[in-house]
Chain A
Amino acid sequence: MNFQVRPILTALRRHKAGTMLIALQIALTLAIVCNALFIIHQRLGNLSASSGVDEANVFVIANMWADMGQSTSQIDAQVRADLIALRQLPAVGDATPASGYPLRGGGWDNFVTMTPDQVKPTTDSAVYTGDEHFIDTLGLNLVAGRNFRADEVMVMGTQEAVTPPTVIVSKALADRLFPDGNALGKSFYAMGTTPSTIVGIVDPLHRQGVDQWSNGYAGQSLIWPMRADDSRGVYYIVRARPGQLADAMREVPKALYAQSRMRIIDPKDGIQDYATIRHKVYDSDRGMAILMGIISVVLLAITAAGIVGLTSFWVGQRRKQIGVRRALGARQRDILAYFLTENFLISASGAVLGIVLGFAFNLWTVTHFAMDRMSLVYVGLGVLMLVLLGQAATLAPALRASRVSPVEATRSV
């Protein structure tokens, strides 16, 4: 097989418009597809991030108080009564009061400093509050230290900035603050005037939000032992006994209303299992991945169809020429090789432009949306895909060309 590159280039110069159109199409397709692949991979990565929660058995009730004039002690009494009632339910394994929960989609977070008068924060941490049942209820994995004791659990009223002396942190936060690995027993400040000492470490524990800005603080969370007796409301996180999630979700609101009717549990989204929570918080990530997927597939199909169309046209235009070549002794596979080589040359030049455009688009998303830089892998993958696609799309018309009979050479007109 002889790859006659120079004659092909000479021939292409006579079809400037068609050649440039295919090259341009390949370039644009490559630019979009490699970015789409990159975005898909990133977003799917977000989607599969572990929350640390035993998601199959845990659900959350958003409980608002109807009477907003209650004192902290009134609220605390109600919360305690609610918890006793919840923990007694047959389908419920455990329950905890909380000010937020992982994957909530945003919520409380505090700056962390090593000293009380440090102005520039060391880092940032999501803040969870709960009682001694928090770790058990969420099913968190305690990798070092101990759980809270019941006597450590404090009360935080609506207008109070309370800093408990003990804290359980996620491993990510522990490692960030104490890279040497001996975080247990050490203390830090989280926007309080007094320090909190690390008594336990859990791994992992996702933040409440999944926003782009918090990527630098991924997985950094702390749990303070307190009941957040806020006059506005409280979250109850509940763990169902294995296999009894549906039952528990039915029983819990009834039990709460039996305790007191002066509360609001939104009938629409007042009670959500973790499947729902995860689905909601990753809405836009999943949407982006799906959109990019659809666009890539349709794009590749259209580009392939375009190449088939234009190559067929060229083959049609050059039937006589092909006949002459055949008459002069070209074998079928020489003709096949000619068209495949031609397409490869066009694809390759398109790919060069495509790589530039692809990186330009990526740069735009980096500067405007703080997205990450695309690694070369995606570009390589995109180039490979498009070159193979081009060859595959050329194959059918090229095969037809290779079957042109040498007799065509003798036909006039």
Chain B
Amino acid sequence: MFTYYLQLGLRSLRRNPALTALMVMAIGFGVAASMITYSVFRAVSGNPIPGKSAQLFTPQVDGWGPQQNLKGEPAEALGYIDAMALMRAHEAKRQTFLYPVQLSVMLGGSRDLPLNANGYAVTADFFSMFEVPFRYGGGWSAQDDDARASAVVISGKLNAKLFGGADSVGRTFNLGGHDYHVVGVTSQWNPRPRFYDLFSTNGFADEPDIYMVFSRALDLQMRSGGRNSCRGSLSYTTWQGYLQSNCVWITPWVELDSPAEVASYRRFLTNYAADQQHAGRFGWAANVRLRDVMQWLDYEHVVPPESRISLVVALGFFLICLVNTIGLLLAKFMRRSGEIGVRRALGATRREIYTQYLIEAATIGLAGGVLGLLLTAVGVSGVGILFRPEIAKLARLDVSLVGLTLVVAIIATVLAAFYPAWRAAHVQPAWQLKSS
């Protein structure tokens, strides 16, 4: 019976080419607009570290006070003093502290100009906490942190540039005027959004080139290559002065495996802030936060407003296209009420009429889906005009999006056809074919 209905559907579509084209276009445009914006939204709103997002937390301590903080919220990063205090307390099983660095890479020969290398100064647990995949070697140890070692982990990309992609573990190269030895080479690793550094990035930067030892970067008095945020009047004139200021620039992360650990760390943070108040460093009550990855992404508004607004607008657009389709299907089906009456007289049950028209709608949905797919492909490649390049390139037409486009188009059209088909099925079996 299915093929019979399909034949009938196709025949009927051929009979009113203009109406059919209109419906197919409405579905096609609607589904394409939704899919293009969804592909971007999906890319920017995903969970960057699904396995561990609920175990990784970033602690915040308010070092600015109620009059200067962010409308009651503590700063989005830590200053040196608080970062060091948390680091030394080492209350979590694993913890890492990081800030962005910008360095130059001196290539061996003097013929080549120096290259720019972006990366992070991090502590040893960074690699295990964030499950960084390695092609060669691995991270460094806590001893290296303490020894302020000149160890460095480099990206596969930089490794290709410097060492032709060979296993470079143990080799040495010059970074910003100092020699470093490679301990590991990462495989492609750039979680998006870059949850671990939303203080300095919008979450969608290119893959970092290097990861160096945090204590080593401090030794070299390297200022953050990213953001730096301060309050009050500033008077520092030396590195030491800068470190003691209220400027925030270090992002801390801790790994907490159970609710008990989370509660205990929260207590520790509160106690720490309270101690600072007793000691007179803070003139206000403890104000701390402990957000996990998804809470942090949400708090930092990682999804660009453009993405959210355009998704909602596109969905509204799709809804209008569906309302339009309901109306046109209603017109199309009811115009054939005579034929429906005859079919009913000849013994078609309501269900059979209903099925026939739903299948006809599904073929429209399929055609709309195919058109939508073409438009989506065009749109995804042209999405660069709508979003910043680093976000636009996340939009991709993959298998799942192709499938989703077709399925959404068909299901939406069939849903839109429920009412018109219901009306068609309730046409009375007729004596007369009303053929005016």
Residues of A within 8 A of B (CB): 17-18, 21-22, 24-25, 28-29, 31-32, 35-36, 39, 64-69, 111, 116, 119-120, 157-162, 189, 191-193, 212, 230-233, 257, 261-264, 266, 283-284, 286-288, 290-292, 295, 298-299, 302-303, 305-306, 309-310, 312-313, 316-317, 319-320, 361, 364-365, 368-369, 371, 408, 411, 413
Contact = CB atoms under 8 A, between A and B. Distances in A.
A189 to B, nearest CB: 7
A232 B102 contact: yes
A218 B331 CA distance: 53
B29 A302 contact: yes
Contacts of B312: 361, 364
Given A264-B114, A369-B305, A66 B104 contact: yes
- Decide if the interface of chain A is mainly helix, strand, loop or mixed: helix
B233 A411 contact: no
Interface in B398-436: 419, 423, 432, 434-436
Given A68-B177, A264-B113, A288-B309, A299 B317 contact: yes
13 contacts: A28-B319, A28-B323, A69-B177, A160-B238, A193-B235, A231-B223, A284-B386, A295-B33, A295-B313, A309-B328, A309-B331, A310-B327, A319-B436
A371 B306 CA distance: 11
A100 B177 CA distance: 25
B263 interface: no
A255 B25 CA distance: 57
Contacts of B104: 64-68, 264
Given A193-B234, A302-B324, A310-B330, 15 more contacts: A25-B320, A28-B316, A32-B317, A111-B231, A120-B67, A159-B238, A161-B235, A291-B313, A292-B313, A295-B314, A302-B321, A303-B320, A306-B324, A313-B335, A413-B432
* Chain A CB within 10 A, most for which of B178, B310, B313, B388: B313
Given A287-B306, A309-B328, A68 B176 contact: yes
Contacts of A18: 327, 330-331
Contacts of B220: 68-69
B137 interface: no
Contacts of B328: 306, 309-310
A69 B233 contact: no
Contacts of A371: 305
A236 B330 CA distance: 66
Contacts of B237: 157, 159-162
A198 B64 CA distance: 29
Given A68-B103, A287-B387, A369-B308, A159 B320 contact: no
A66 B324 contact: no
A21 B317 contact: no
Given A66-B106, A309-B327, A29 B320 contact: yes
A25 B323 contact: yes
Contacts of B316: 28, 31-32, 361
Contacts of A295: 33, 313-314, 317
Given A32-B320, A299-B320, A413-B436, A69 B241 contact: no
Contacts of A320: 436
Contact of B309 (A120, A298, A365): A365
A30 B222 CA distance: 55
B334 interface: yes
Contacts of A288: 306, 309-310, 386
Contact of B308 (A162, A189, A231, A368): A368
A302 B304 contact: no
A411 to B, nearest CB: 7
B331 A191 contact: no
A42 to B, nearest CB: 12
Nearest to A67: B177
A21 B320 contact: no
Among B68, B176, B435, the one with the most A-chain Cβ atoms within 10 Å of its Cβ is B176
A306 B18 CA distance: 12
Contacts of A263: 114
A290 B385 contact: yes
Nearest to B224: A232
A35 B436 CA distance: 43
Contact of A261 (B113, B221, B314, B388): B113
B121 interface: no
A286 B313 contact: no
Interface in B133-187: 176-178
A32 B313 contact: yes
B116 A266 contact: yes
Nearest to B337: A317
B223 A369 contact: no
A192 B319 CA distance: 55
Contacts of B245: 161
A310 B223 CA distance: 67
B189 interface: no
B19 interface: yes
B8 interface: no
Contacts of A119: 67-68, 232
B225 interface: yes
B176 A25 contact: no
A264 B308 contact: no
Contacts of B314: 295
Interface string B288-314: 000000000000000011101110111
A274 B19 CA distance: 49
B242 interface: yes
Contact of A192 (B115, B235, B239, B419): B235
B114 A262 contact: yes
B116 A264 contact: yes
A305 B19 CA distance: 9
Nearest to A262: B114
A217 B19 CA distance: 53
Contacts of A65: 104
Given A18-B331, A263-B114, A319-B436, A283 B102 contact: no
Contacts of B434: 413
Contact of A159 (B236, B304, B334, B335): B236
Contacts of A66: 104, 106, 114, 176-177
Contacts of B331: 18, 309-310, 312-313
B386 A64 contact: no
A382 to B, nearest CB: 14
Interface centre among B178, B237, B434 (most CB of A within 10 A): B237
Contacts of B419: 17
A408 to B, nearest CB: 8
Nearest to B225: A232
